[in-house]
Amino acid sequence: MSMTLYYMPGACSLAPHIALQEAGLTFDTLRVDGKSKTTADGQDYLRVTDKGYVPALRLPDGSVLTECIAVLQYIGDHSANAQLSAPDGGASRYRVSEWLAYISTELHKAYGPMFNPAASDAEKQRALDALAKKFSWVEDALGDRKFIVGETFTVADAYLFTVLGWTKFIGLHLDKWPTLQRYHAAIGARPKVTAALKTEGLIK
């Protein structure tokens, strides 16, 4: 049985989608409608995962794995390209985990109020200001490197690329952070990243 990634276009499930492409693993994708919680082939998504959100990855044994960090680590560990989860071998694996945790808890979740119709303008502005500060920190941490950990692409890049892409939905322009803008464009130009974006209908 091959794997199936359940996704919503452009959502955080884009990160494992990119990682699956970069890993060269065999997989299918199945789009989920966020409002009705049904899959493109008519399944009740809540029966796939009662969390109701993406990503979910159906593994070859039929079980379902959720949570971006876990799904990304699984893909990295099952790739023929060992550098996807541990770019320089050994201890760099913990640097990848460190970045995955930062991206998930400090960046991904920080977008929450901006995507929440019930949040007030003041809440949205506070969240925007906090996110901007974090972007400046990531900008400095990245410096003139091509990737966020080591010298090669890792699953942390798949996740960072994905969350940086959401800036266009919230009126925050990456041109304030030239390093992040350069990084986002370079990761976005990778053929496997382009393939994932095309499948999700985000580019032609």
Ligand X SMILES: N[C@@H](CCC(=O)N[C@@H](CS)C(=O)NCC(=O)O)C(=O)O
Instruction: Closer to ligand X by CB, 55 or 150: give it.
Output: 55
Which among 180, 170, 136 has a CA at the least distance from the CA of 10? 170
Out of 5, 6, 7, 11, point to the residue binding ligand X (CB under 6 A). 11
The CB density around residue 162, as the number of other CB atoms within 10 Å, is 26
Number of residues that bind ligand X (CB under 6 A): 11
Candidates 3, 5, 7, 12; binder of ligand X (CB under 6 A) is: 12
Q: Would you call 94 exposed, middle or buried from its count of C-beta atoms within 10 A (0-12, 13-18, 19+)?
A: exposed
Cβ neighbours around 109 below 10 Å, total? 12
Q: Which one, 11 or 197, has the nearer CB to ligand X? A: 11
* Residues 4, 40 contacting (CB under 8 angstroms): no
Residue (52 or 60) nearer to ligand X, CB: 52
Residues numbered 74-103 forming contacts with ligand X, rule: CB under 6 A = none
Which residue in the set 3, 5, 19, 54 belongs to the binding site for ligand X (CB under 6 A)? 54
CA 201 – CA 115 distance, rounded (Å):
21
Residues in 155-184 that interact with ligand X by CB under 6 A: none
State which of residues 24, 34, 178, 201 lies at the interface with ligand X (CB under 6 A).
34
Task: State how far the alpha carbon of 51 is from the alpha carbons of 9, 37, 46, 91, 177, in Å.
Answer: 18, 10, 7, 32, 34
Task: Output the smallest distance, CB 172 to ligand X, in A.
Answer: 17
Only segment of 47-55, 57-65, 90-98, 169-177 that touches ligand X (CB under 6 A): 47-55
